[in-house]
A and B are shown apart, each in its own frame.
Chain A
Amino acid sequence: MPSPAQAPARSATENRVAQLLQRLGPRRQQILFAAGAAILFINIAILAWASRQTQSQSEWARHSLRIENRLSELLLSVRTAESEQRAYILKSGNTAYRASYLAAVDKIPRDLAGIRSRVADNPAQQADLAELEATIKDKLEDLATKIRILEAGDTSAAIGLFNPNDRGRELMTAIKERIRRMGAEEEQLLAARSANFERSSRQLLSVGLLDSFLLLVLGWLAISFSLRSTQRLETAKIELEAKVEERIAELREANEEMQSFAYVVGHDLRAPLVNIMGFTSELQALQEVIFNQLEQGGEASNASGFDAKAAGAEFDEAIGFIKAATEKMERLIGAILALSRAGKRELKPETIDMSVLVDGVATTLAHETQAVGAEIEVGTLPSITSDRLALEQVFSNLLDNALKYLRPEAPGRIQITGYASSQRLIYEVRDNGRGIAEADQRRVFELFRRAGAQDQRGEGIGLSHVRALVRRLGGTIKLTSALNKGSTFRVELPRIYTDQ
């Protein structure tokens, strides 16, 4: 199964980002996404605004050009009116010129009206236009005056009116000047609007670019976050699978133990039965011999080869074995019942100062400790919330074993240490005794099984009892040991006992 550590190595930056996202938590991650959406919305709004602006800008440009057009048309009309009037006067009443002159004069008010409607939004241009209109009116009046003189028949007087200091000339110059100014004004307005548009476009562009960049960053964050969550999901899945497998292994082990327990009970109880039945049969056989002898009078023992002394010894031996086997059976059944009771007893979790509890257990073993010249050291142990009686039995069995299986050549030294590891507490009972061979390290936890030299009393119950208790408390027990060096029993328990 691949472990998270085998996942492809990622860059430090990516890791930092992932950590940052992890710290953000789901609530702020939502905010992150909302921010991304908002920026996207702003970008769209900017785009819409910019396109509308471009449109109105081009409309304004068209508008300005139209005004300029009208202005030049107006100038053309005025000039046409002037030149046609002049030609009419010079050609002494050629009516074709008169018609052209009248058409031009006629067109001037329409030109003016066109301009007026287009500068309605601009008071400065309106003022200019009013003055222009007045000047044009004067000019047309001037032109009309000369025509009237001509038509009164005084051709030379009319021609005489054309001189360098003519008022008509002056007026024409004023008109030209004013139209030029109005055109220039319109140009300036257009330029100002263009500049304005360009500036705001540039600003919008930078805002848009910044936005897009932010959006890019947010997108990248979101993607790496989603990658990260996928990875986390994968890790969680792997962890879950491992947990399930562990649990299955535990169940399998418990099942195997159950089977082995039934097997052991069956066979170990059968062994004393073989003795009881065997020696009972032997007694029966002996009884026949004895009764036969009694019937024969009991005196002629030597004649039939009957040895009363030997028969008595055999009788005693058989009775002895039957008694021993019965007692053994009684002990085995007692042990099985005790295990069963321990399994049924209701556990009452309470907060326990383990240093005090183990100290108490050590005190009850003070006599034995002194007898073998050993020393028990109880370290500072983490407190636990669990069943007091079960824990007392666990540590009393472990300490008792440690005291029983010391090496005569080494002064016994038994240490109990403990520490916390996340939600589990670990207690270790370490001795420097004779140790347990590797082949026997599983076996010692089995019911009625022991290991090493059989120089101590015992039925092989203690450790199987300890293991059953530790299991009930939701923990595990492990043994590490080396022959002639010592053993360490490592009890791992949940910090708080919960009934499963």
Chain B
Amino acid sequence: MTPVTIIMIEDDEGHARLIEKNIRAAGVYNAILAFTDGASALRHLLSPDGSGQTNGLALLILLDLNLPDMDGGEILRQLKENFHLKRTPVVILTTTDDEREIQRCYDLGCNVYITKPVDYARFATAVRQLGLFFSVIQVPEAA
């Protein structure tokens, strides 16, 4: 089985570091590829030719909504509309807890929506449990 690569799209480097620490603390040692803005993440995911062909890689995407250059929802839409990436699990991990925003993301096809708690104990618990979740879920190979 192909090892799953975690794609983390998170503009705040501090958040990225804390997420990584807690995922690792949950015993998840998969490769993590971090992007700090939407455009470069999309460029990578859709591959240079824009087709989204991933050559059989299994991916799991962690996505923040408040990116400096793009709306995270727009990235989600593009991923879910892409023939090769539409089955790739997308976890929204963001500070936004607005009801409409959560609905919109599920409408667009996100798989899990998690709000980043400001309280670190809860933040750590949430991300570690997400890590545990990562260690048990089946991720389909990208087409």
Contact = CB atoms under 8 A, between A and B. Distances in A.
B117 to A, nearest CB: 8
A338 interface: no
Given A267-B95, A274-B118, A278-B14, A450 B124 contact: no
B49 interface: no
A281 B69 contact: no
A77 to B, nearest CB: 125
Interface in B5-48: 12-15, 17-18, 21, 36-37, 39
21 contacts: A263-B98, A268-B66, A272-B14, A274-B14, A274-B18, A274-B117, A274-B118, A275-B12, A275-B14, A277-B119, A277-B120, A278-B15, A278-B123, A282-B21, A317-B17, A324-B13, A443-B71, A451-B70, A452-B39, A453-B39, A453-B69
A321 interface: yes
B68 A281 contact: no
Contacts of B1: none
Interface of A: 263, 267-268, 270-275, 277-282, 317, 321, 324-325, 439-440, 443, 449-454, 460
B123 A274 contact: yes
B120 A324 contact: no
Contacts of B116: 274
Given A263-B98, A277-B119, A271 B68 contact: no
B66 A267 contact: yes
Contacts of B74: 439
Contacts of B137: none
A440 B70 contact: yes
B96 interface: yes
Contacts of B98: 263
Given A439-B74, A460-B68, A274 B13 contact: no
Nearest to B121: A281
B69 A274 contact: no
A271 B95 contact: yes
Contact of B66 (A271, A282, A439): A271
Sorting the interface of chain B by its residue count into under 10, 10 to 19, 20 to 34 or 35 or more gives: 20 to 34
B120 A278 contact: yes
B118 A321 contact: no
B95 to A, nearest CB: 5
A331 to B, nearest CB: 14
Contacts of A452: 39, 69
B122 to A, nearest CB: 10
A142 B34 CA distance: 160
A321 B123 contact: no
B20 to A, nearest CB: 12
B17 A454 contact: no
B36 to A, nearest CB: 8
A449 B38 CA distance: 13
Nearest to B74: A439
Interface in B91-106: 95-96, 98
Sorted nearest first, the 9 A-B pairs with minimum C-beta distance are A275-B14, A321-B14, A281-B120, A278-B18, A277-B120, A278-B120, A267-B95, A270-B95, A450-B68
A452 B96 CA distance: 22
Given A279-B18, A454-B68, A273 B12 contact: no
A128 B71 CA distance: 124
Which among A273, A274, A460 has the greatest number of chain B C-beta atoms within 10 A?
A274
B61 to A, nearest CB: 20
A439 B77 CA distance: 13
A236 B70 CA distance: 44
A313 to B, nearest CB: 12
A325 B15 CA distance: 10
Contacts of A268: 66
Nearest to A317: B17
Contact of B120 (A263, A280, A317, A440): A280
Contacts of A325: 14
B14 A279 contact: yes
Contacts of B12: 271-272, 274-275
A263 B101 CA distance: 12
A415 B47 CA distance: 38
Nearest to A281: B120
B41 to A, nearest CB: 12
Given A270-B118, A275-B12, A280-B120, A321 B17 contact: yes
B114 to A, nearest CB: 13
A271 B15 contact: yes
Given A449-B68, A453-B37, 15 more contacts: A263-B98, A270-B95, A272-B14, A274-B12, A274-B14, A275-B12, A277-B119, A278-B120, A325-B14, A439-B71, A439-B74, A450-B68, A450-B69, A451-B70, A454-B36
Contacts of A317: 17
A265 to B, nearest CB: 12
B24 to A, nearest CB: 13
Contacts of A278: 14-15, 18, 120, 123-124
